[in-house]
Amino acid sequence: MNITPTRLPGVSLIEPTRHADDRGFFQEIWNSRSFADHGIIADFMQDNHSRSHRGVLRGLHHQLVQPQGKLVRVTQGAVFDVAVDIRPDSPSFGRWTGHVLSAQNRLMMWVPPGFAHGFLSLEDDTDVLYKCTAIYAPANERSILWNDPDIAIQWPLDGQSPRLSAKDAAAPMLADGARVMA
């Protein structure tokens, strides 16, 4: 497997090794020993699967208590996957990184605890699967406005408006009350 650091410390792009032959392919998605050898230590508690139409934007989500690390991959379609550093004492606080994850490129992204996460679906019927290091806790979930000008994520929207949930559309900006990690 190839693991490439992004511009945010702790966030990594992962390309699993694929073994293919005339029968199909096999690839290992998670191996705690191999990931630990690359500095990624996680105890996954929950697996999630979402399907989205093109133009759906989900996020930017995080949990105040029991922050979740996420190992994100796409099994069908493509997304622009984003992590935002929300650790108040971090030198990269408020900075973001974004990468295309797709069924075709097979890349995964490791988003450690302490980061907000979101993605924009680039194709219809895009399936995103992600492993989480903490159980979803709705009372602790928070959102940050997807187009917060202080974060300035360059979403590949091609002049279109994203499709948002009511919760994500009403999310506060980071500086205006989006509480972050303590």
* Catalytic residue flag (residue 61): yes
- 54: tokens are 């093109």
| Nearest Cα to Cα of residue 15 among 132, 101, 133, 126 | 101
Identified catalytic residue from 61, 62, 99, 117 = 61
* Catalytic residue flag (residue 136): no
Instruction: Say how far apart CA 127 and CA 121 lie, in whole Å.
Output: 9
Identified catalytic residue from 62, 99, 117, 130 = 130
Residues 6 or more apart in contact with residue 17 via CB below 8 angstroms = 1, 27, 28
Please, are residues 171 and 178 in contact by the beta-carbon 8 Å criterion? Answer: yes
Q: Residues 156, 160, 161, CA angle at the centre, nearest 5°?
A: 100
Instruction: Say how far apart CA 132 and CA 122 lie, in whole Å.
Output: 23
Phi-psi region of 133 (alpha: psi -120 to 50; beta: other; left: phi over 0): alpha
Residues tagged active-site: 61, 130
